Structure 1
Amino acid sequence: MTGSLQQFAGQARAYLFSQVGDCFTNTARGPGRCSVCTSPTGFEHVQLCGQCSRQRSEFGDDVADLVIPLTYVRGYMSPQHQSQHMVQRYKSPVQPSEWSAGLLQFMINAATAIHGPCIAAAVGWWDVMTFVPSERRPGKDHPVVELARHVFEHGRSVDRVMLAPTENIAHFNRYPRRDIFALTPEFAAVVRGKHVLVVDDTWVSGGKAQSASLTLKAAGATRVTVLCVARWLSYKWDEHRPVIESKLPPYDAMICPVGPGACLASL
């Protein structure tokens, strides 16, 4: 890591600790956590959660090659947890929070600046970038677009494409489908033979993000990485509850979201 990037990493770490340390915590990989989405599996020897296991069994290599959630959201608690409030308010169509949006954008920027080489070491540098479009606000005015714009590109030239929701998205039920997104022929040509980074805000079931991967790989993308701010944990799910109730350390931008032993930030 260069001196200027080291300085940025230290400043980003301190800033995010002060701003989101009381509500966000890092995702974790290893025993008892899904190797795809980092959710608790309920058993230390189980490497995939039920959702990711079914998706991989059905779609094989067409699902994303790497999924990188940065933090956990503690969902459906009473009273509502601040992490849920923040990820929902950032994109509220009624009263969006610029403060929340700015923090999520900075989390994406810091994570890709500090740990971009870790992603590259695992699956290669990304050549193309896109985002998971919203059904209700599918265009460039959705706040997720700003998350994608804050990806740090390390001085590289990265093409940008847009996925378009199809009429079949009306039948989406949180499970991946090959037909809810589409690419124009021009965009399909851009992703062919390339590694595509897909940016999203929240991973709940992974259905939409993995649907994006199915569409991109059908168009010829060789690899797909999904980068999302938050992995939603549900207080309604028994296997999630112990993590939600535990006293986890505050979010640390230096902890590698790619996985243990993958971090190159200290080099």
Structure 2
Amino acid sequence: MSAWPRCEAMAGRLRALLPCACALCGGAADAPVCTPCARQLVDAGTARCRRCANPLGPADAALACGACLAGAPAYDATVAAGGYASPLDQLVLRLKFGGALALAPWCAHTLHAAVLAAPGFALPELLCPVPLGPVRLSERGYNQALEIARPLSALLGIALQARLTLRRLDTPAQSGVTAQERKNNMRHAFLVAPDMLAQVRGRHIGVVDDVMTSGHTLNALAATLKRFGAARVSNLVFARTAPH
């Protein structure tokens, strides 16, 4: 038995002994989020742009939105499990800033279901998380994108390379700044690790993150991967912020 099934079996025994409460409604649950709350939070057939995952009208499902047609981003596709709105945003904030790492496997399971349900989505050959800069990683103690990517890798059966890319600049926090400031912040922010170049060339890379807001971070990372030879880049994000 591999490590992941063993961990799942142990987690199941612990849940039976120590039942938990839903992180949202507080009711009894056998997962961090109870089934009724999860049904309300996760996309249920929401039509989204196949490239950037912004919401579309039902008739436009699996098509590209006007913004992507007018100026195609560096990434080729995006799958999002849900919209970044209340109360889903509170789960992300607890994972990202509150050390609630038990939420990461639930996010991965939810994202896994969204990936399998995405029409026409081609699975990547290799996964990597959006990297944190050394200062931010030291302050937080973990990379929430990597915490989601680990169980997602096991669920999809796709190899994960945690150090495929590096953030060479400790960019300012992207929350609370304008779209243009976000774009400027991300210029030259990433590089492919020198010992990972062979794993990038000619391959379809899946980039995992917790939230996609303006898309500038993911666009900059996709542009870097393609500059170093990636054939295709797809984003796998737990939550997508709606356009303003």
Cα contact 1:209–1:226 (8 A) shared by 2? yes
Q: How far apart, in 2, do the equivalents of 1:165 and 1:152 lie?
A: 21
Identify the residue that residue 209 of structure 2 maps to in structure 1.
200
Identify the residue that residue 231 of structure 1 maps to in structure 2.
240
Give the TM-score, by structure 2 length.
Answer: 0.66
Equivalent AA in structure 1 for residue 129 of structure 2: F
CA spacing shift, 1:48–1:159, aligned 2, 3 Å: same
Q: How far 1:152 sits from its partner (Å)? A: 4.5
What does 1:11-90 align with in structure 2 at a 5 Å threshold? Answer: 17-26=35-44, 28-29=46-47, 34-40=49-55, 47-48=64-65, 50=67, 52=68, 55-56=71-72, 63-74=74-85, 81-90=86-95
Give the TM-score, by structure 1 length.
Answer: 0.61
Q: How far 1:65 sits from its partner (Å)? A: 1.4
Q: How far 1:218 sits from its partner (Å)? A: 0.7
Of 224, 228, 234, the residue aligned with 1:219 is: 228
Q: Secondary structure at the match of 2:182?
A: coil
CA spacing shift, 1:155–1:201, aligned 2, 3 Å: closer
Q: Secondary structure at the match of 1:90?
A: helix
Q: Secondary structure at the match of 1:205?
A: coil
Identify the residue that residue 164 of structure 2 maps to in structure 1.
162
Q: How far 1:166 sits from its partner (Å)? A: 1.9
2:122 pairs with 1:151: no
CA spacing shift, 1:144–1:156, aligned 2, 3 Å: closer
CA spacing shift, 1:155–1:170, aligned 2, 3 Å: closer
CA displacement 1:179-237 (0-9 Å, x = unmatched) = 11011221122111111111011111111111111111111011111100111126xx3
User: Between Structure 1 and Structure 2, how many residues are aligned?
Assistant: 200
Equivalent AA in structure 1 for residue 38 of structure 2: V
Equivalent AA in structure 1 for residue 103 of structure 2: S
Cα contact 1:26–1:70 (8 A) shared by 2? no
Specify every segment of 5 or more residues in structure 1 that has no aligned partner in the other structure, as ranges. Answer: 1-14, 75-80, 238-267
Q: How far apart, in 1, do the equivalents of 2:71 and 2:202 lie?
A: 23
What does 1:234-245 align with in structure 2 at a 5 Å threshold? Answer: 237=244
Q: Secondary structure at the match of 2:152?
A: coil
Specify every segment of 5 or more residues in structure 2 that has no aligned partner in the other structure, as ranges. Answer: 1-32, 175-180
Q: How far 1:66 sits from its partner (Å)? A: 1.1
